[in-house]
Structure 1
Amino acid sequence: MILSKENLQHVAATAVSLPTAGLFELPEKVLQFGTGVLLRGLPDYFIDKANRAGVFNGRVVVVKSTNKGDLSDFDQQDNLYTLCVRGLEKGQAVEENIISSAISRVIAADADWSSIMELALSKDLKVIISNTTEVGLSLVEESIRQNPPVSFPAKLVAILYKRYEMLKEAAGHLVIIPTELIPDNGDKLKIIVREIAAYNQLDDGFNAWLDVHVTFCNSLVDRIVPGKPADQELADLTASLGYEDQLLAMVEPYRLWAIEGDERVASILSFSQVDPGVVITSDIEKYRELKVRLLNGTHTLSCGIAVLSGIDTVKNGMNHAALHQYIKTVMQQDIIPAIPYEVEAQEAFAFSDVVLDRFANPYIAHLWLGITVQYTMKMKIRIFPLLAEHYALNLEAPAHLAFGFASYLLFMRSVEKDGKYYGHYNDQEYLIQDDQATHFASAHAAHPDPLAYFNQVFDNAAFWETDLNDLPGFKDAVHLHYTNMTKQGIAAALLSFNQHHSTSKS
């Protein structure tokens, strides 16, 4: 049995939370660019939850902007899909299955642009959401009168200008929320919209209308949504649910959608009332810093240690006593005090506990090697600001950051083979996917001695865009850990390190 509106009557309510008939009659209030699992597992999750509570009372029209894939699964299933929430919350297992009815239609922009332009004239439309990848928020100088325009921002301008032309003030207020993972995404989208308007020589009244009737919100999304599970797990879920669902997606319990907005934004986004995971505030930077430093930064500092230790997934890393201890203490001892933004210590420690639960999620197989992709960029963006803030407050080297940086340098020691770069450690070979891999391979080729390699890469201020030797004691600390790793092995080095830095807060 395929999941569909007609077949809902045959689905056991004991296995899954079902939508009621009235939810299918709600007006279309949201236009969403993107069909991916993140949007279906986070914004659409919140909208569906609010609709069930009788709060937001609006459905989502989804725009498929790319030529990849088709809409057959959405069409066959009447746009219904199952979210399987699995993971840990405050150390307790969470298992929940929800059939979402948030989506009313999915429209292919290339095939039916006229339907999207028709929706632009709906007075019910209140919200536009996007997740078009970071590349999607870029300026393409093109006519908005194409059928359709190529880029997402040009499509958006076409929709907004149509609304301005035909409705003017009668359009009501519109909230636009990009969820692409770049800082100040709403501000950047607004700038691009204005540049496209100028390129198309739209009248000045349009810009004035934008200022009054449209709010672009910066936002931050945070939820791990792996999507459809592997074959055997999917087969087991299908058997327990009693139906087939080609759109089924696994999601972790943790959820955050931080949106920068005022009281008017909050009143329009009334779905924020039903779940604490939606935060509407005047400044979302605190939430970005907590995520980037404690979640992403801890990933960055730990991934080299894990791969060199032969640990495949994050959840297995949390079952490895020495790595688990390092992950906990690097957050609590080195990262929290050095977050380059004012965050209450209690809030930061609470978030670190959430991160530990998320890392330990037994239902998500997150590969450490995948986390090492673009390792150098992540180190510079996520960790170097922590180093700077640490040294603004302390004169001693941050022990855990130094250990993580040492493992990164060891991981990146590589050779080129058939146009790809590989590291070798303890008889294992691993692929390095990093735009800067050639730099480390060249240093290793020129300086095969481990210490000579270390000095060559560490002392290259031009490469780091800062002189790491200006940080008191940092080179000595990193060198000590790097030497221990090369002579004793990563496992022994980590055990020894933990023994000397065993004090942690809880």
Structure 2
Amino acid sequence: MTSQLSADTQFPPTVLRPGYDRNDLQPGILHFGLGAFHRAHQGIYTQRALQSEFGPWGIVAVNLRSPEPVEALAAQGGLYSVTVRDSHGETSEVVGVTIDWLCAARDRKRVLAYLANTSIHIVTLTVSEKAYGLHPATGGIDETHPAIANDIANPDAPVGAIGYLVAGLAARRNRGMRPFTVLCCDNLPSNGKVVRKLVLEMAERHDPRLALWIETEGAFPSSMVDRIVPAATDDTRLRARSLLGVNDALALDTEPFMQWVIEDEFISARPSWEAGGALFVKNVEPYEKMKLRLLNGSHTMIAHLGLLKGLDCVRDVMADPEFVAMTRDHMRVASATLDPVPDIDLDHYMNQLIERFSNRAIAHRNIQIAMDSSQKLPQRIFSPAVEALAAGDDGASFARVVGLWIAALIRFKDCNDPRRDELLSAAQGADPQDYTASFVAIEGLFPRPLATSRPWRDLVNREVAAWL
């Protein structure tokens, strides 16, 4: 029987390994969201930082609910592998930056203890857009969100990310400590500002003095992250075993490209993430808007094209020249809504995206990308559509994406989305004379300029009809 990845594993010479002594690692970062993206992105950047300039930057990895990845990481002594794949081949790297691993649902006290420990300088998050409890209309906390409701009522027993941040900051204030820096790595526009607002609103409900302290002393830099990391499959794990010579339950495949743009606003020390190519800037918003509208917006379109055409992965959609042209056209239209992006050649960036989407070695499933679309469309599609209409454009390309989404909901009568019941009810009651009507009626789903634009809604209806 093949053994499990561990600190005692003797790897083939082709496998990259941590270039530092893991025994000397001390905790410095607590991360919420032990998912694939974090492991293939922030984990790699932190490994590069430690190899360039060693410091107390071990990661304490916390999963809010599911114990499975925590148990898998514990069984492997904090090690996991990431395999970079493209048409030129594949290279596997073992990552060793994680030094403790916790499931918050099972071990709340230890998570809170870490948050109140002076060794933790930075708290990072990749918990997905829906986990923040963001109210779509107000931009503040949604008190109907289960985690938000619990954490307002039970501040000392949090279950959600915002509740944990507030509880940790409260403990540090009570002990006369400095706050930790909160660094959001999820695909939310101005994510640092968003998380800051949510934390302040939650803190205000508990103690206005705490909220004032966080507002005055805290730091919430925004960041833009980018790397395509498909969900792992049995093939992923088999490939890792052939490269490593051992089993890795947490094995991942990813692409060569990775990007991290971070606002340089930290309360205290930070790792040398620039050693891995991270870019520190004064204002991250132009970069994140570029990524959300060009990469993520195109991904949403491609994913729904794939679902409607019965194509499993992004690469399958991009094998059709018609869909490649459609993707390029959408990017071109979306790029017209962008602010200037320092040091970025947009034409080159868009060509890179086409190449990345077409990577035959990466099996990024369309159904994975299509998850939680109601939470993603506002920043990826609705916002640029509103701007396009205000500038005198018809917004047809954005209407196409929305039409594809609605057509998929009507055809398949199912979705993986936090607003699933509302969306499926709208799909069930959709009127062929105006498919958009039942969706526009969902509170807080569409921004008013789109909901009230008859010409734009007619374009959406035309797209829905074309795909049903």
Residue 353 of structure 2 corresponds to which residue in structure 1?
A: 355
* Offset, 1:99: 1.0
Aligned with 2:222 (options 218, 237, 251): 218
Secondary structure in 2 aligned to 1:259? strand
1:271 aligns with 2:258: no
1:239 aligns with 2:242: yes
Moved more, 150-159 or 403-412: 403-412
Which amino acid counterpart does residue 280 of structure 1 have in structure 2?
Answer: F
Question: Per-residue CA shift, 1:134-186, capped at 9, x if unaligned?
Answer: 4443432144444xx333333333333333333x2xx4563111334333443
Residue 290 of structure 2 corresponds to which residue in structure 1?
A: 290
Residue 141 of structure 2 corresponds to which residue in structure 1?
A: none
1:2 aligns with 2:4: yes
1:469 aligns with 2:468: no
Identify if the C-alpha distance between structure 1 residues 54 and 94 changes in structure 2 by more than 3 Å, giving closer, same or farther.
farther
Q: Where in structure 2 are there 5+ consecutive unaligned residues?
A: 134-147
Residue 380 of structure 2 corresponds to which residue in structure 1?
A: 382
Aligned positions, number: 440
* Offset, 1:359: 0.9
1:103 aligns with 2:98: yes
Identify if the C-alpha distance between structure 1 residues 356 and 161 changes in structure 2 by more than 3 Å, giving closer, same or farther.
same
Contact 2:81 2:248 in 1 (8 A): yes
Contact 1:61 1:105 in 2 (8 A): yes
Residue 447 of structure 1 corresponds to which residue in structure 2?
A: none
In 2, Cα distance between equivalents of 1:377 and 1:27: 36
1:177 aligns with 2:183: yes
Residue 256 of structure 1 corresponds to which residue in structure 2?
A: 259
**Greater radius of gyration (CA):** 1
Which amino acid counterpart does residue 45 of structure 1 have in structure 2?
Answer: I
Contact 1:318 1:359 in 2 (8 A): yes
Residue 229 of structure 1 corresponds to which residue in structure 2?
A: 233
Q: CA RMSD in A?
A: 3.7
In 1, Cα distance between equivalents of 2:66 and 2:354: 39
* Offset, 1:379: 5.4
Identify if the C-alpha distance between structure 1 residues 393 and 75 changes in structure 2 by more than 3 Å, giving closer, same or farther.
closer
Residue 364 of structure 2 corresponds to which residue in structure 1?
A: 366
Secondary structure in 1 aligned to 2:435? helix
Contact 2:201 2:211 in 1 (8 A): no
* Offset, 1:30: 1.0
Q: Map residues 310-325 of structure 1 onto 2, 5 A cutoff.
A: 310-325=310-325
In 1, Cα distance between equivalents of 2:107 and 2:132: 23
Secondary structure in 1 aligned to 2:228? coil
In 1, Cα distance between equivalents of 2:33 and 2:372: 25
Question: Per-residue CA shift, 1:358-410, capped at 9, x if unaligned?
Answer: 21122332333554556677656533443443344456x46655665665565
Secondary structure in 1 aligned to 2:102? strand
Identify if the C-alpha distance between structure 1 residues 458 and 133 changes in structure 2 by more than 3 Å, giving closer, same or farther.
closer
Question: Per-residue CA shift, 1:243-285, capped at 9, x if unaligned?
Answer: 12112222222223333333x56x7334232122x23323222
Identify if the C-alpha distance between structure 1 residues 438 and 191 changes in structure 2 by more than 3 Å, giving closer, same or farther.
closer
Which amino acid counterpart does residue 241 of structure 1 have in structure 2?
Answer: L
Contact 1:137 1:188 in 2 (8 A): no
Identify if the C-alpha distance between structure 1 residues 304 and 131 changes in structure 2 by more than 3 Å, giving closer, same or farther.
closer
In 2, Cα distance between equivalents of 1:361 and 1:376: 27
1:155 aligns with 2:159: no
State the identity %: 20
* Offset, 1:39: 1.7
* Offset, 1:315: 0.2
Which amino acid counterpart does residue 230 of structure 2 have in structure 1?
Answer: P
* Offset, 1:192: 4.1
1:141 aligns with 2:145: no
Identify if the C-alpha distance between structure 1 residues 280 and 173 changes in structure 2 by more than 3 Å, giving closer, same or farther.
farther
In 1, Cα distance between equivalents of 2:195 and 2:53: 32
